[in-house]
Amino acid sequence: MALLQISEPGQSAAPHQHRIAAGIDLGTTNSLVASIRSGLAETLPDIEGHHLLPSIVHYAKDEPAIVGNAAKQFANTDPLNTIASVKRLMGRGLKDVKTTGTRLPYDFIENEGQGMPMIRTAAGDKSPVQVSADILNALKKRAEETLDGELSGVVITVPAYFDDAQRQATKDAATLAGLNVLRLLNEPTAAAVAYGLDKGAEGIYAIYDLGGGTFDISILRLHHGIFEVMATAGNSALGGDDIDRSIAQWIMQEANIADDAEHHHIRQLLDVARTAKETLTTQDIAPIQLEGHIKWQGELTHAQLNQLIDPLIHKTITPCRRAMHDAGLTVEHIKEIVMVGGATRMPRVREKVGDFFKRSPHTDIDPDKVVAIGAAIQADILAGNKPDDEMLLLDVIPLSLGLETMGGLSEKIIPRNTTIPVAKAQEFTTFKDGQTAMLLHIVQGERELVLDCRSLARFELRGIPKMVSGSARIRVTFQVDADGLLSVSATEETTGVHSEIIVKPSYGLQDGDIERMLKDSLEHAKYDIAARTLREQQVEADSVINALRAAIQADGHYLLKHQEFLKINAALNDLLKIKEGTDVKAIKKAIEHLDNLTQSYAERRMDSAIHRAVKGQHVDEL
């Protein structure tokens, strides 16, 4: 009788065991945690009944961090030590932060070698990752106290347009908070799950997500139970906070408040602006009253508000058009639109989005809670509580990933809008004879030249056997996991020498960089193709020149006649001059001319090599 097998401790769950999992919406303005309770996904409140946790952290000397509503009260009185909207700083460098156009009342310190800047506080220097970890820790405690148990894992949502650095920074914050991340899930995808679109009729859906600090538009297709993101676009620095600032600037103009007002006055103005915005969601006029050091009374009407925010709403429509274009669709193909994010409560936003898509959007679920609810549903599945659930979510990468090749060209390995997780490989070779190492430069972007793309990382492959140029076979594999994080490996196939890197850039893209990169790729398409063709021809010319010089040095003195040498040398010099120009046809013609002149020489070299190889051997040995 065969022996029965018993699993390792902790490796087999009894049918009655339920793993405690949660979904976390780590937002710019507010954050939430949700879980499945009694079969339903719901957000979890704190002891005072608040579901929304303001994404604000206050630091004081020799005191634990204060998070949420308790921290919010310090925003006006102690702005330097009260960090808000830290999501905008995640995975970004000091240069990015300073060029966002957003006035931030913090004392930033450049963190050499780490990319992201530190923020000087009374409790010491804090990185955006540490601040986010404090927010996540508060949500973790809330969930474990409410659910009466330790979390086995969480799904954390991120904007679909978060790049590799921003996603990695989010995972780092979760690790620092002691959370087991089951998956990073794109916010629009989470919203679609919350609305149960995965259970409905097959079709194409648009998820319009305007949160406190970010905007995303995703085009999803449900087909045979598989949720696929067809295209995504957005702006990682556009949201409800910008609407608040626009209203606050209007108040400053009306009240004759100087632009260089102190930080606590700016915070007061933003609070007043936010209240006016929320009032106009249900009323026609919002009274405004400034008290304290600055005194002013006035009112804001719907018409005035619309005039202020229409330019910002228009900025969200442009990515909508681009996403539709990328997916090869028109608005007539869209079955339904889902609204996500607190800013979508505004009637004007709903009106403009409805006008663009030519149909009324879904607004049934609280737009502040919908993402967290979707994340909770996905977390419950990934934790193993619903092993029979067949829901499959497929996200995409926002920008192409590739390698630099000779001539400064970008060779795309994984095109943008490729469904993830994904792994793709391509073979490369050496440029010079005897080359024993290769520098691999990983880039991101849509342009043909590396200088127009974004550099992600560099690593080296050493130990390549000495061979004639073009003989080595280097297999480079790009792998993007379900969280959108990239790893790259390179292997020389004859020896098996291997090198790899997990791509973790020190900071993310600047505001609007992704949109700019896509726009540039379209505007410069013809130029880029021409530039690539020229560079490819120049690289081929360099290769021919190097190979011919090496051959002449090796055996030209006895295989070439004097007149042959003079003609070949003259053609070689002509090619050297012509390849520095921009005439692709002339370069190609010069290469062909040189090739014709050297054909006889190449045949003699081949015969000589064969003669050397068989010299002194018996015919039976060959």
Given the residues 72, 87, 369, 504, select the one marked as catalytic.
87
| 140 tagged catalytic | no
Given the residues 25, 96, 216, 380, select the one marked as catalytic.
25
- C-alpha 375/C-alpha 383 separation (Å) is 12
| 209 tagged catalytic | yes
Is 30 within 8 Å of 41 (Cβ atoms)? no
Residue type, 46: D
| 87 tagged catalytic | yes
Q: Are strands 153-158 and 181-186 parallel, antiparallel or unpaired?
A: parallel
- C-alpha 396/C-alpha 515 separation (Å) is 16
- C-alpha 106/C-alpha 79 separation (Å) is 7
- In 3-state terms, what secondary structure has residue 105? coil
Given the residues 46, 96, 198, 209, select the one marked as catalytic.
209
Given the residues 46, 96, 187, 452, select the one marked as catalytic.
187
- C-alpha 462/C-alpha 439 separation (Å) is 9
Q: Are strands 392-396 and 226-235 parallel, antiparallel or unpaired?
A: parallel
Please spell the DSSP secondary structure of 423-479, one letter per residue: EEEEEE--SSTT--EEEEEEEESS-SBGGGSEEEEEEEEE-PPP--TT---EEEEEE
Name the residue among 350, 439, 450, 459 with its Cα closest to residue 400. 450
Is 236 within 8 Å of 212 (Cβ atoms)? no
Which residue is associated with the tokens 């970010």? Answer: 214
Residue 349 has which token pair?
Answer: 């936003």
Is 367 within 8 Å of 344 (Cβ atoms)? yes
Name the residue among 207, 175, 171, 167 with its Cα closest to residue 189. 207
What length is written for the chain?
A: 622
| 187 tagged catalytic | yes
Side by side, which strands form the sheet with 409-414? 409-414, 401-405, 437-444, 454-462
Give the phi and the psi of residue 169 in degrees, each rounded to 5: -60, -40
Instruction: Tell me whether the omega of the peptide bond preceding residue 421 falls within 30 degrees of 0, making it cis.
Output: yes
- C-alpha 572/C-alpha 543 separation (Å) is 12
List residues with catalytic annotation: 25, 87, 187, 209
